[in-house]
Structure formats: C-alpha cells, structure tokens
Structure 1
C-alpha cells in the first residue's frame, strides 16, 4: 500500500536506537526524509545510511535550539515531529526517590517534548500534512507502583498532546499520543532484571507476571509502534487527532 508519504520531512527525537530508530527506519522505508537526535553519539555514528543524526539532549534548551535550527535547515521545513525521547527514571517509593532523579525524569520525559515542540510548530504550520506524535506509555493511563516520576511524566504527555490537538487544529496540525506496553528490547530486559533482583525472582518469572496482566501475553515488537506512527502521519490518518492510542497487547494494569 502506498501511504503517500514519500518526501515527507520528519524529525524523531531519541532516534538512534530502540523505538525511535524503528520509527525513523519505518518513515525512511516509505520514502520520507528523516533527521534524528540522540544523546548517544556512538549510536548516531552507526545510523543507517539515509538517516541524518545530531547529538542533542532534549532537556537542554540551548541544545534543542541548535538541533532544530540544523534539522529544519537540512529538511527545508517540517511535516512530522515524533517526540520519542524519554528515560525510565528511578525505581522506589515516592519517599525514597531523590529529588534530582524526579527532576531529571520530568525534564526529559515531558519538558523535552515542550522544548522541541515549541520550535517545531511554526514550521509545521507551513506544511500540507502536519502532525505531532508523542510517545507516552501504558503508564500514561495506569498507576505504576514504584515508578511515580515515569508515570507522572507519561500522563503529562497525554495531556500535552490533547491540548496541542485543540490549540493547533485550526492550522491543520494533528497531534496524537502512542501508548506502548512492554516493548521488546534491552530497556524492558533491564527493567525485568531490576525487578527480579528486588523480588528475589528469576527474570522469566517477572516477565510472566508482567505479561499476565495483558490479553495477548507477549512483548510488543517495536516495529508495531513504528507502523502506527507512520499511519498517523500519513494522509490516511488525516482525520485522527487528539487521541491516546494504546499499542500494548490489551494491558489491564501495571505491576
């Protein structure tokens, strides 16, 4: 199927690995022009040919200013912004969390979205097919014990996206959030390993407990999230805005 996005100009934050890289690859495969940023310089050096990369920490406004100036110059405008950057944050009860760890999590996971979006909007207003996609999480609709900074920031992403949809709709800009569940990859493996140590269980036992709260009982391939992102940004998704779309195997709760 031709999604009609050849030549689309796309920025993906934290696009050098994991979910961000799969999203960048999916857009590029359909003929879009993609620029990514990431804090991981070696990962940027290893990017696929056809993907342009810049070092940038989205919590650093000066760095974001430099990145967006370069990206918009490279692309000659902007049609799609994918705010993917996020960190897992600390694990522990709220009274055990260091304030600086709380601040850092929110600085990346929600303020980073603001830092990039505010600079992207003027360029998006000039696009014939503009959209913003924010990566939230299943933790953006459930409570998540021992992960309050992460959950708070991911709920905030949904509120930010819904507000953007209302503010920017008059300019034809669509804004949607994707809420992944337990996505297969090194990041979720690290979470499972931490929980296993904490609970004195095996990694396999922890994974089984997590997946027991989903209907499909399996980890989510990151490519499935990329497919949804590309569809939302394509003309086929032209009537979808203000939505929080779960791609989580039908998760009922987080444990």
Structure 2
C-alpha cells in the first residue's frame, strides 16, 4: 500500500458517551489543557464526571475548564507542574477540596524532548524528559492514590506510548521514561488492587495533532506508513480507550498496558 493510499483511510466517529457513566465521580487529568489531555477531559465530562483540568499552562487550563462548563459539566482548573511534588500535592488537594473527593485520574502530562543518539543526548534534556514523563507520573500517583483510597476506590490511567514497548532511534529519554511508566503502572496495580483501585496504562501511536499536521509532508506520510491502519490516530480515540479503562466496564482489568496504535506494534 502506498503512502498516498495510507493517508486516504477514514476515521470513525466515536459513539456518544453515556452521560451517567461517571456521574458522582471526580476526575483529575494532568496535561489536560490541550491535545490528548483535553480530549480526555471532554470525554470524562461527557460521561458525567466533575473534571479538574490540571496543566502547567494555567491560562489554557482555565479555558478548557470554561469550555467544559459551557456544556453543563462541573469543571475546574488548577496549575500543576508534575515535576514538582509540592505542586502535585496541592493540585490533588484542590480537586478534593473543590468536588469533595477524587475517584479517577489520568496522568497524561508529558513532553517529547529533542532527537539525538544516546551517546550525544544532552544530559539536561534527559533529566527534563525523565522528570516530566516518568517522575511526573510517580508524583501524581503518590498523591492521587491516598485520595482515591479515601474515597472508597476508583481508577487511574497512566499515559505511556507505543514507545513504552518499542524502541525509537533518537529518543532515548522518551523511550526509557515511557517504558518506566508501564513498569510503574504494573507495580502500583499490584499494591492497590485489594484497596479497590485499578491502575492501567495506555500506549498511543502517533496521534494527529496540529504539530503533525504542519509537519513536512514526506515526514508525515512516513509516520502514516508505519501504522497498518493507514492513518494517524485521533486524540478522541485515545480518550475512548482511557474512558473504558476508568469505567466499571473494565472492573477486572488491573495492571494492563493497552495499545491504541493502528497496528504499529503488531509486526
């Protein structure tokens, strides 16, 4: 199949959300002001959850929360730097104080970092990527878990990547961090299953974002060609998988790593 044929594949429209699915529950979404995080916030709000949009970019977090409120959802925004444990602790406390409890969390905040071979990778960029993409997930769960246990249980989804199971030349920090998220997820799931908290990870393929839409056409077509489905994924498709894992429909799923990658990892 040619790259041109790849790019003509159509994207299905997700079914409307059940507006009672998450009724009475509070959800915290890190990195929730844009991209996959915003799609997740919208999906959880559409399912009836009260949503706290947590993001390093407080202004856009407030805009996202205001958008959700215009749909009739309960929503609030909080500034959060996942590399700073004190900031995360304050954000989780804000969620509990605002809506009375915390039941659901999606740890989605992350950054890409530069492209460079491992032997030339800048140390400061390694530290920054790992601090955000791996330590940020640990910091988030460190404070989310006690709150969710106190609420009687719930669920967490950690956002990994297809690069949580595959290598990718030029991205040693990102790949290492996303592999680490999978291991951290499995460990926490073992620890908290008996306390009625389910913890799982999601691994998106390359997602159709403004950044990729504006990329060099040949580079974009190459990325499309890596996905047997013949297209890039959408943020809404990732949100649907995460919503399922957070819902009672996934009640016996603990410590799993679920790909949503158009077949990227199948070969």
Query: Given the two structures, how large is their TM-score scaled by the length of structure 2?
Result: 0.86
The equivalent residue for 2:130 is 106
The equivalent residue for 1:75 is 99
The equivalent residue for 1:250 is 263
The count of residues paired between Structure 1 and Structure 2 equals 243
The equivalent residue for 2:51 is 34
Q: Unaligned regions of 5+ residues in structure 1, if any?
A: 194-202
The equivalent residue for 2:27 is 10
- Return closer, same or farther for 1:109/1:169 CA change in 2, 3 Å cut-off: same
Between the aligned partners of 2:202 and 2:101, the Cα distance in structure 1 is 24
Secondary structure in 1 matching 2:222: helix
Where does 1:1-255 land on structure 2 (aligned, <5 Å)? Answer: 2=18, 4-47=21-64, 48=67, 49=69, 50-189=74-213, 193=215, 203-252=216-265
Q: Which runs of 4+ in 1 moved over 6 A?
A: none
Secondary structure in 1 matching 2:150: coil
**Contact 1:213/1:252 (8 A) holds in 2:** no
Shift in Å, 1:253: 8.0
Q: Unaligned regions of 5+ residues in structure 2, if any?
A: 1-16
Shift in Å, 1:106: 0.4
Between the aligned partners of 2:132 and 2:194, the Cα distance in structure 1 is 28
Between the aligned partners of 1:123 and 1:238, the Cα distance in structure 2 is 19
Between the aligned partners of 1:40 and 1:243, the Cα distance in structure 2 is 30
Between the aligned partners of 2:147 and 2:78, the Cα distance in structure 1 is 19
**Contact 2:162/2:265 (8 A) holds in 1:** no
**Contact 2:62/2:76 (8 A) holds in 1:** no
Query: Given the two structures, how large is their TM-score scaled by the length of structure 1?
Result: 0.90
Shift in Å, 1:24: 0.6
Deviates more, 1:47-56 or 1:240-249: 47-56
**Contact 1:136/1:155 (8 A) holds in 2:** yes
Deviates more, 1:62-71 or 1:18-27: 62-71
Between the aligned partners of 1:173 and 1:251, the Cα distance in structure 2 is 30
